[in-house]
Structure 1
Amino acid sequence: MKSIFTKLMLTAAVIASPVLATADDHGDDLTYVLVSHAPDSDSWWNTIKNGLALAGEQMGVNVEYRNPPTGDLADMARIIEQAAASNPDGIITTLADYDVLKGPIMAAVDQGIDVIIMNSGSPAQAREVGALMYVGQPEYDAGFAAGQRAAGDGVGSFLCVNHYISSPSSTERCQGFADGLGIDLANQMIDSGQDPSEIKNRVQAYLSANPETDAVLTLGPTSADPTMLALEEIGLSGDIYFGTFDLGEEIVNGLKSGVINWGIDQQPFLQAYLPVVVLTNYDRYGVLPGNNINSGPGFVTKDGLELVEKYAGEFR
């Protein structure tokens, strides 16, 4: 017969032993669909795809990425409807145009599908459509912070190269920048389109017609890369103040060379990765963060570029 002391020691050992939770019997057959507004031509979204895939692998769930090939928002609305019809456990979606996309998103919520808004839109709009939360960078706030930074550097006028003018969130970046500078946006924003040659030509035409322009603001690699070529051809490379949203291989090179003063990192990896983690834990254990998650803005300069350069276009 075991002594009372031995029994107490065994009992204490059982109580003290950690209980390791696993995904077994906790919703290990979950599927989440991420719908973006990005056209196939926009390489910036590769980071989103990588974050989504890694989260799916680490959490042991199924993930899908869907988007309108040309970036057409009406097409995106139909894709959200199709995603909801497949009855996934959750939908992660951008809210690039509230008026166009609110209908299918709210219909998905009414159907009982959990939704998280990421990348574009706002926390307020996420609440209005019934989403669980918002994960992303408030675009106006990011533009405003960039404008304040530029104002501190002596900028008083600028050109905003908007390559996705049909998306209200893109315009919010330009408007925020103008407000941060304390000036009117007026005609300082151009619709550049997405063709690299057209972007380069339109930037050169604007700067030729407005030689007093202090700065250039681009909204991502799609507009930043051709703008760098435009500035080089007209002899302004490194001589005009240049800020950009987002990161990419050529943007990192521009930061290193001093052609670009700063890039705004909204950390797109987190915008795709975190919603999968949140949804998985919500479905498995009923836990949910109490607040929205701001993934940016963060300013990247040529100082401290080591990890950014290493993972640019992949995870940064």
Structure 2
Amino acid sequence: MVVWPSRRSQMSIVTVAACLGLAACATTPGPTNPVQNPNQSKVAVGMVTHGQANDPFWAQAKQGAEQAASDFNVDLRYSAPPTTDPQAQAQLITDAAGQKPAAMVVTIPDPAVLAGPIKQAADAGTPVIVANVGVNQLDQVGALTFVGQDDALAGQQAGTAMGQAGVNRAVCVIHEEQNTALTDRCSGFQQQLAMTGGTVAVVHVNGSDQQGAQTAIANALTQDPAVNGVLATGIQGFSAASAAITGLNAGGRVKLGTFDVSVENPDDLTAVQNGEALFVVDQQPFLQGYDAVQVAAFQARFGQHPFRPIYTGPSLVTTDNAAKVTSLYQGLGKQEQRISVAMVTHGQGFDPFWALIRKGAEQAASDFNVDLAYASPATTNPDEQAKLIIEAGGKNPAAMVVTIPDPGVLTAPIKQASGSGLPVVVMNIGATLLDQVGAITYVGQDETLAGQEAGTAMAQAGVTHGLCIIHEEQNIALTDRCNGFQQQLSSTGGTVTVLHVNGSQLHDAQQAVASELQQDPSINGVLATGLPGFSAAGGALQSQNAFGKVKLGSFDVSTTNLTAVQNGQAQFAVDQQPFLQGYDAVQVAAFQARFGQHPFRPIYTGPSLITKANSAQVLKLYQGNAPVLVQQGGYPS
């Protein structure tokens, strides 16, 4: 049983319990104790794709997967059929699952053939990550998440670019018959071009028969002279289309665009640079392979994964950035040149949540040859954080990672940094402010959605009147959590009261919660938006002997609230996975600084709901040498 402290002992645990939340406390951390590295124990990940060994795209994806396997001590078992044969891939999936890996990564170009064996693996208890193609089949196959490109959206982006170039009649080339991703690309292209009055004809070719494919495209262009644009859905289609357009001497009249990047023969990036092609839609295969294995390894060890898919594309490569993107593909995995990344957060040094974020950031810095300059204010003072952001920007780092708990104070200095050309990644809080501050993307939790997740769990537990505790006045993330909670509970007829407390005054906060419960006996659920609120609410419920009668839930994780979940005193904890959050933020910043590329959409590391069913496995992440590990933010073990 978790025993909440008496009034006398409460103040002595402020830095251990109350400072575990999203943004509670202060000071610069001292050196952490050496702790066990989670990568010390090797895990096996089976990866089965439909990609061919002689395809440059899949060579890049495999290289990324192998790099992640090296970084995370993974026994990577990669396999692919010798031809684009879904039956052969299905057999490889069955064989891979039979080896009982800790997790699997699969592609699903043909759901009709592949869904069965993948579902069988997932049902047997193997965590499955879908990569590259198959985002719409996650529920069908029992997979956890997806890493890759939104192909319909990518097709729309291609349609926008073609329309801006004056294309009104286009051909979309599909080079692999059974691949649903290619169909989605053409569908998105067709939808977007139709919005400007354009039309699209789909041409199916055999990508492995280049001469036949070239002839088929040339015939389509000859039969319909009105065609003034060709979109290839992959490198093989680009090669055939380029040859067909050149053979007809139609390069000036017919615009050419393609999906996926090649710096080999055919070299579509050179074609963009010299004007033979308008653009390449890049889904960043190296990053795609890397992130898929990274997600699989994290899930295998700790039972956690990003809440939403990681979209590595679409990223449009044009004449403006083709030279920089070329450097990525000519030096994939090569990180000899050390770069600097500044990271300025509002998190306090003795707060274990922020210590875990910093530990993740430091591990990413090590993995990606980054000189990480981390800074945070001594107190939760937005003016002090703004000053640190200005100072960090003045040192001319290659990229910057920031948090935005107070937009009114922090927007201007961040905008000043991004306006100078510095790539800025927003982390932890500030997802809705990307355009306002000129940031490239966000890594963290969707706070409103997280509140809704908590509301769903509370409603299922029978809560009809909830109390939502905000422990830090100026933090918009906590307000968003309560708003989402309120929205979701009201959808089932429930109501929510919001209570503001001072998270640094644990005794007073507990008294405020207790008073609210006494004044309104209809309250049958309490949601803490962070660990200071959780400690105060737990103490109040204990003093009133109200555990069970009043349901308790919390945001963010400590060994204390995980134990409370295990023994039934708390219903759940909403985890945003701080170690992964810090890691991914620095990873994204480093990739952007080197190669001018980043995930197309935000990476949502949370919300991930921890209940009695999975709390024991998650506890492995935070326990280790607890309480010292969690208190000092040591590397998860």
Fold in common (TM above 0.5): yes
Aligned AA (1:91): M
Q: 1:218 maps to what in 2?
A: 232
Say whether 1:137 aligns with 2:154. Answer: no
> d(CA) in 2 for partners of 1:187 and 1:289?
36
Counterparts in 2 of 1:181 and 1:87: CA distance versus 1, 3 Å: same
Residue identity opposite 1:201 in structure 2: T
1:308 paired residue number: 325
Trace 1:39-50 onto structure 2 (pairs within 5 A).
39-50=52-63
- 1:8 — aligned with what? none
Which residue in 2 is equivalent to 1:77?
90
Cα distance per residue 1:206-240 (max 9 Å; x no partner): 11111110200001211112221221121112432
Partner of residue 7, structure 1: none
The 1:41/1:16 distance shift into structure 2, 3 A limit, reads closer
Name which one, 1 or 2, has greater alpha-carbon Rg: 2
**Alignment check: 8 A CA contact 1:47 1:314 kept:** no
Q: CA deviation at 1:43?
A: 2.7
Question: Quick check: 1:230 aligned with 2:247?
Answer: no
Q: CA deviation at 1:290?
A: 1.8
**Structure 1 CA distance, aligned partners of 2:174 and 2:102?**
35
Map residues 1-316 of structure 1 onto 2, 5 A cutoff.
16-23=30-37, 28-122=41-135, 124-182=136-194, 188-194=201-207, 195-249=209-263, 250-312=267-329, 315=332
Contact between 2:57 and 2:262, CA under 8 Å: does it hold in 1? Answer: yes
SS of the residue aligned with 1:140? helix
Change beyond 3 A, Cα 1:139–1:127: same
Identity of matched residues, % = 29
Tell me the number of residue pairs that the alignment of Structure 1 and Structure 2 aligns: 300
Distance 1:120 1:313 in 2: 25
What's the offset of the Cα at 1:282? 2.5
1:264 aligned counterpart, secondary structure:
strand
Any conservation in 2 of the 1:278–1:288 contact (CA below 8 Å)?
yes
- How far apart in 2 are the matches of 1:168 and 1:283? 28
Equivalent residue, structure 2, for 1:6: none
Alignment partners' CA distance in 2, 1:275 and 1:39: 18
User: For the residues of structure 2 that align with 1:187 and 1:143, how far apart are their CA atoms?
Assistant: 12
Greater shift, 38-47 or 218-227, is seen at 38-47
Check the 8 A contact 2:172/2:200 in 1, yes or no: no
3-state DSSP class of the match of 2:192? helix
The alpha carbon displacement at 1:187 in A equals: 7.5
Structure 1 residue ranges without an equivalent (≥5): 1-14
CA contact (8 A) 1:95 1:121 kept: yes
Q: Is the 8 A contact 2:175 2:236 kept in 1?
A: yes
Aligned residues of 1:120 and 1:136 also touching (Cα < 8 A): yes
Question: What amino acid sits opposite 1:244 in the alignment?
Answer: T
In the TM superposition, what is the alpha-carbon distance from 1:38 to its structure 2 partner?
Answer: 2.1
User: What is the rounded CA distance, in whole Å, between the counterparts of 1:306 and 1:92 in structure 2?
Assistant: 32
Contact in 2 for aligned 1:217/1:243 (Cα 8 Å): yes
- Range with greater deviation from structure 2 (132-141 or 151-160): 151-160
Aligned-pair RMSD on alpha carbons? Answer: 2.2
Pairwise CA distance, 1:21: 4.3
For 1:17-39, what per-residue CA distance to the aligned partner results, in whole angstroms no more than 9, with x for missing partners?
31344436x66221111111123
Residue type of the partner of 1:233? Answer: G
Could you give the per-residue CA deviations for residues 276-297 of structure 1, whole angstroms, max 9, x where no partner exists? Answer: 1122223333432222111111
Q: Is the 8 A contact 1:27 1:284 kept in 2?
A: no
Secondary structure of residue in 2 paired with 1:312: helix
Q: By how many angstroms is 1:242 displaced?
A: 1.1
Q: Distance in 1 between matches of 2:180 and 2:99?
A: 29
State the secondary structure of the residue aligned to 1:283: helix
* Matched AA of 1:212: A
Deviation at 1:314, TM superposition (A): 6.6
| CA contact 1:121–1:138 (8 Å) conserved in 2 | no
Q: Give 1:306 deviation, angstroms.
A: 2.8
Q: Give the secondary structure class of the aligned counterpart of 2:270.
A: helix
Amino acid in structure 1 at the alignment position of 2:317: V
Structure 2 CA distance for aligned equivalents of residues 43 and 206 of structure 1 = 27
Structure 2: gaps (5+ residues): 1-28, 333-594, 596-637
Q: What secondary structure does 1:302 align onto? A: coil
Counterpart Cα distance in 2 of 1:73 and 1:262: 30
Instruction: Show CA shifts across 1:111-136 (max 9, x none).
Output: 111100010011x4213321111111
